[in-house]
Amino acid sequence: MEFYRSAVGKKWVMAVTGIALLGFVLAHMIGNLKVYLGEGQLDSYAHFLRELLYPLLPKTVTLWLMRTGLVIAFLLHIHAAASLTLLNRRANTAYQGPRDLAVASYASRTMRWSGVIVAVFLLWHLADLTWGVTPMAPEGWTAGAVEANLAASLSRGGVAVLYIVANLLLGIHIYHGAWSLFQSLGLAHPSYNRWRRRFAQAFSAVIVIGNVSIPIAVWTGWVG
Amino acid sequence: MNITLRAWRQAGPSDEGGFETYQVSDVSSDMSFLEMLDVLNERLTVEGLEPIAFDSDCREGICGACGVMINGRAHGPQAATATCQLHMRSFRDGDTITVEPWRATAFQVIRDLVVDRSAFDRIIEAGGFITVATGSAPEANLTPVPKETAETAFDAAACIGCGACVAACPNSAAQLFTAAKASHLNLLPQGGAERYARTERMVDTMERFFGSCTNHGECEAACPKQISIDFIAMMNRDYVKAKLTNRGSA
């Protein structure tokens, strides 16, 4: 706890929870790509998630354990980000003249914005496809009919655009986060430093391409 | 060269301050930026006006006293250069140059371009030293230091404490300064004994004054000694180890 009170400790927690969230985002994308494997594949994948480790554990227990872990990771990530932002606001005094940043990337400068927008989108996305809450969810939303719900939701033009924009922002967030986490955890060495940036580039590219392909596929009639 | 200089003027810490515009003519391109300010100040003095206050000492890039924000860049446009080593040939005839003091809540403006950097002293007091019994020097060859380690420690020791890292950081974080000052001791046998206690105390003190690192990398780009943010990673790792393993920890 005393470790978390420090800013360096909070950044360490942001990196560790960031890794957990990256793992989720990757697994979520791979699972969603089952939509390309043919009719019924996505539904049976959703069914498989509910029965994970059954009969070792009762149905949906593993899923709920993972969900709990994710919620904790999200809350810690957001709490650390918010309190560090407040610390930085107090520490910083604005320049009155022009400011010419040398190397800070668009991604690194917009982490707070991309993070907040992705978090709001996430709630929208849950209401749309997990909870089936109107007006986010499409008409005729049915629990368990994952593929039909997905196709119905994304065939709405505005919603498809929203998913594409949100995933681009997620990619921008990951582009800085997946590099930054190495620094926060203290993983730096001349022998592998250049791979940290490449890892972040590749990771964000894979996530954006995989996720954005789905609304486009629904739109063009490939899927659904 | 003829230069239009927009300089920050502030009579004291509680004064609001603002930009004043000066025409500086017949500037030689071989002058350093500080010499250009000297020429302007001489003229202001002759005219009975208050000269622009700025810090400087060695004027050869090793003391860390000088340092101002020039056109939005700490120490100006040239990489690996302190303000005193920046020459007017980096600018063009007729340019307008904006010069402003370092900005951070911990760096209060004392007057014009001079800021109070004593928060750095607090960080050094917390651990930027080694505790050794003085007396006759031990036999040097009894303490082997690998060349690579010595080189890395020296890279960190190149820090002149100018404050450009804080000035350039959008979060006003002092990670690069603190990491450099901790690492040049931590890496060597004499300083290594107190590695974790030192890192813990220096980081905790740093956080009383400065912001938190978001890994923009602006500090490394602004550093006149080109100190790498690898040292920040090293400090972060040591801090975690200190908190989890250091038995002398508070």
Spell out which residues of chain B touch residue A94, defining contact as CB-CB under 8 Å: 103
Q: Do A95 and B6 touch (CB under 8 A)?
A: no
Q: Is residue A157 part of a domain?
A: yes
Q: Does residue B250 carry a pLDDT above 50?
A: no
Average pLDDT over residues A8-24: 98
Amino acid at B45: T
Q: Is residue A107 part of a domain?
A: yes
> How many domains are there within chain A?
1
Q: Does residue B113 carry a pLDDT above 60?
A: yes
B135: confidence class by pLDDT, cuts 50, 70, 90: confident
Q: Does residue A36 carry a pLDDT above 60?
A: yes
Q: Does residue A107 carry a pLDDT above 80?
A: yes
Question: What average pLDDT does the structure give for chain B?
Answer: 96
Q: Do B211 and A92 touch (CB under 8 A)?
A: yes
B244: confidence class by pLDDT, cuts 50, 70, 90: confident
Per-residue pLDDT tens over the stretch A130-156: 999 989 999 999 999 999 999 999 999
What totals of helices (H) and strands (E) does chain A contain, helices first?
9, 0
What is the DSSP annotation of A70-109?
Answer: HHHHHHHHHHHHHHHHHHHHHH----SS----SS--HHHH
Average pLDDT over residues B95-107: 98
Q: How many CB atoms lie within 10 A of CB A30?
A: 12
Q: How many CB atoms lie within 10 A of CB A48?
A: 12
DSSP class of B32: B
Q: Does residue B248 carry a pLDDT above 70?
A: no
Q: Does residue A4 carry a pLDDT above 80?
A: yes
Domains, chain B, ranges and CATH? 3-111 (3.10.20.30), 118-245 (1.10.1060.10)
Instruction: Give the CATH number, domain containing residue A75.
Output: 1.20.1300
Residue-number span of the structural domain to which A129 is assigned:
2-219
State percent of chain A over pLDDT 70.
Answer: 100
Full-model pTM? 0.95
Per-residue pLDDT tens over the stretch B169-207: 999 999 999 999 999 999 999 899 999 999 999 999 999
Q: Does residue A18 carry a pLDDT above 90?
A: yes
C-alpha distances out from residue A36 to A7, A41, B191, B222, Å: 44, 8, 59, 49
Closest CA–CA distance from residue A212 to any residue of chain B (Å): 27
Q: Is residue A224 part of a domain?
A: no
Average pLDDT over residues B7-36: 97
Q: Does residue B219 carry a pLDDT above 70?
A: yes
Q: Does residue B245 carry a pLDDT above 90?
A: no
Beta bridge partners of B116: none
Q: How many CB atoms lie within 10 A of CB A220?
A: 8
Are B83 and B63 contacting, i.e. CB atoms less than 8 angstroms apart?
no
Q: Is residue A14 part of a domain?
A: yes
Lowest average pLDDT, out of A219-223, B13-17, B150-154, B165-169, goes to A219-223
ipTM of the complex: 0.94
Angle at B36 between CA B34 and CA B40, to 5 degrees: 115
Q: Does B73 touch chain A (CB under 8 A)?
A: yes
Question: What average pLDDT does the structure give for chain A?
Answer: 96
Which residues of chain A have a Cβ shorter than 8 Å from any chain B Cβ? 2-3, 6-12, 84, 87-88, 90-105, 108-109, 111, 176, 179-180, 182-190, 193
Q: Is residue A34 part of a domain?
A: yes
Q: Does B9 touch chain A (CB under 8 A)?
A: no
